[in-house]
Chain A
Amino acid sequence: MSVVNEAQTGVAAGTETFEPKILAFACHWCTYSGADLAGLNRMNYPANVRVLRVPCSGRVNPQYILTALNQGVDGVLVCGCHPGDCHYVSGNYYAKRRLMAFRRMLQYTGLEPERFQVRWISGSEAGKFRDTVTSVVEQIRAIGPYTPDPALAALIDKGTDAQNPILPESVAAGEGGDAS
C-alpha cells in the first residue's frame, strides 16, 4: 500500500501530506467528454484522479472495483450517463442496480462509504465533473489511505514482495499451464 503511494506521490502515507489516489471509471459517451470539456475550459481539479475510459458505466464489472482497491487505489469513482441518456439505451440502468447493491455490500463488509462512489455526469457537465472529483478527493484525503490487507501491507513494507501480482510472471507471459 504505502509503497505504491510513495512511488506515486513521494510522501509517506498517513502523514499530513497524504495524497490519495483515485480511480475514476468514465463513460466514453458522457463523463469522458465532460472531463474533456473541463480541460478545455481550463478548470482546475486535483491531479489525484486517474480517469479510465470505459464504453459504458454498465461495462464496469464490480471485479474491477475490488481489484483496484486491492492493488493500491484509495478510492473508486464510477461515472456514467444520466439515466435515460445511455448511448446503449439501458447500460446505466443495469449499472445502477448492480452498483447500488454492490456498494451496500462493500459498506456492510466494512468499507468506508466514501471509497466507492457513483455519479451521473453528462458530456456538458464539466463543472459537475470538477466538483465531484474535488469532493471525492477531499473526502478520501480526510479519511486517509486505504489498507485492505494490513498483513500483506506489512510484508510489502518489509520488501519481501514488491507487488501483489495477480499472477506469477511466467503465467502472465503465457508460459504457464492454461486451466481452460
Chain B
Amino acid sequence: MTVLQEAIRKRAAELLEAGEVVRVIAWGSGRFANQTSPLFVSAAADAEKIVFNDYCVNTLAKYALNEKVDGKIAVCVRGCDARAINRMIADNQMTRDEVYLLGVPCSGMKDRATDEVLPKCLTCTHRNPVVYDELLGEAVAEPAEEEVSGLRYSGIEAVEAMDREQRLEYFNEVFNSCIRCYACREVCPVCTCRECFVDQLRAGWQGKQNNLNENRFYNLIRVFHIGDRCIECGECARVCPMGLPLMELNRKWIKDLDELFAAGEEGLTDELDNTLGRYKTDDIEEFM
C-alpha cells in the first residue's frame, strides 16, 4: 500500500511537472486516519497529499466528467474506476485521450465504520483496472469466479425465494425509507444525462411528494435507465444515507438480462453495446 502510494505520488508529480495533465484525481486524507476523500491535485508540490490506503472507498471516475474541461487530466483507476471510465467513453461522455489513466491494483477497500471489507468490494470481479495508460505496482490476483458469483446474486436470490406478499412488504419498506436525495444518481457513472427525468418539472415524470408511489417510481425507473449498462461498482448502495439495498435492484436487472439475452459484464471495453439498445430476431418469446 505504502509502495503504491509513493508510486502514485511520484507519477502524479511527474505528470503535473511535465505539463502532460492539468490535474490528477486521486484520494486524499480525511479528518481521521481511516477516512479518505477524493483529492484533486493541480500542482506538483501538492502530490504528496495523495494517500492510498485501505479506506479509499470512492470510485473516482465520475469526477473526471466535471474536471476534464480545461485540459487533459489524470485519474487513478482501480477495477471499478476503469470500468466506469470505459462506460463513460462508450456513452460519449468523454474520449479516451481526454484522460490519462494511472492503473492501481486493488484488493478491496474497508468500511471505516465497521473495518470490514465493503460489500461492493466483496463482489468485485475485476480488482485490476481493465484499461490504463500505465500500471503502478504489481497486478493482484483476481478472485476465483465461483467465490464471487455466489456472493454476487446471493442477495437477490434470497429475495426471489420469498413469496409475493413478502417481497411486496420488503420492497415497500425499502421504498418507504427512501428520502429521494438522489445521491445514488449523482454518484453513478452511468447516470450522465444532462437533465435527469426527475428534474424535468414540466414533463412531470417524478412528483415531488415523498410517498411510496413516488419513491417506487423513482427507484424502479432509475434501475430501468441504468440497469443494462450498470458496471456494478456498488457506489449507489455505498452512498445511500438510508442504507437501502440498491444493488439488489440493479443486480436483479443484470441477472435477468444475463439469463434472457446473455448480456455479460459491462464496462470491460469502451464500445457501446448495451443489451436494451440492441435486439435479435430470435430473442426469447413470451408475449405471444
Contact = CB atoms under 8 A, between A and B. Distances in A.
A112 interface: yes
Contact of A90 (B170, B224, B279): B279
Contact of B252 (A82, A97, A105, A178): A105
A17 interface: no
A40 interface: no
Interface string B265-288: 000000000011101110111111
Contact of A96 (B159, B169, B283): B283
B205 A63 contact: yes
Contacts of A142: none
A170 to B, nearest CB: 11
Interface stretch (B30-38, B116-124, B194-202): B194-202
B287 A63 contact: no
Contacts of A67: 205, 217
B198 to A, nearest CB: 10
Given A93-B279, A102-B224, A109 B287 contact: no
Contacts of B151: none
Contact of B172 (A106, A110, A180): A110
B207 interface: yes
B260 A100 contact: yes
A128 B202 CA distance: 38
B158 to A, nearest CB: 12
A101 B256 contact: yes
A180 to B, nearest CB: 6
Given A93-B283, A96-B287, A166-B207, A101 B213 contact: no
B220 interface: yes
Contacts of B211: 149, 151-152
Given A70-B213, A105-B252, A180-B195, A97 B275 contact: yes
Interface stretch (B13-21, B49-57, B160-168, B235-243): B160-168
Nearest to A152: B211
B281 A152 contact: no
Contacts of A178: 201-202
A93 to B, nearest CB: 4
Given A83-B285, A152-B213, A105 B220 contact: yes
A90 B205 CA distance: 26
A176 interface: yes
Contacts of A7: none
A3 interface: no
A149 B205 contact: no
B253 interface: yes
10 contacts: A70-B213, A93-B279, A101-B257, A105-B220, A111-B168, A118-B287, A148-B216, A152-B211, A164-B213, A178-B202
Interface of B: 156, 159-160, 164-165, 167-172, 195, 197, 199-202, 204-205, 207-209, 211-214, 216-217, 220-221, 223-224, 227-228, 249, 252-253, 256-257, 260-261, 275-277, 279-281, 283-288
Given A82-B288, A149-B212, 17 more contacts: A62-B224, A66-B221, A67-B217, A70-B216, A97-B260, A97-B276, A101-B227, A101-B257, A101-B276, A105-B227, A107-B164, A109-B216, A119-B287, A120-B288, A152-B213, A177-B201, A179-B201
Interface of A: 62-63, 66-67, 70, 82-84, 90, 93-94, 96-102, 104-112, 118-120, 148-152, 164-167, 171-172, 174, 176-180
The 3 closest A-B pairs by CB, nearest first: A110-B168, A93-B279, A149-B212
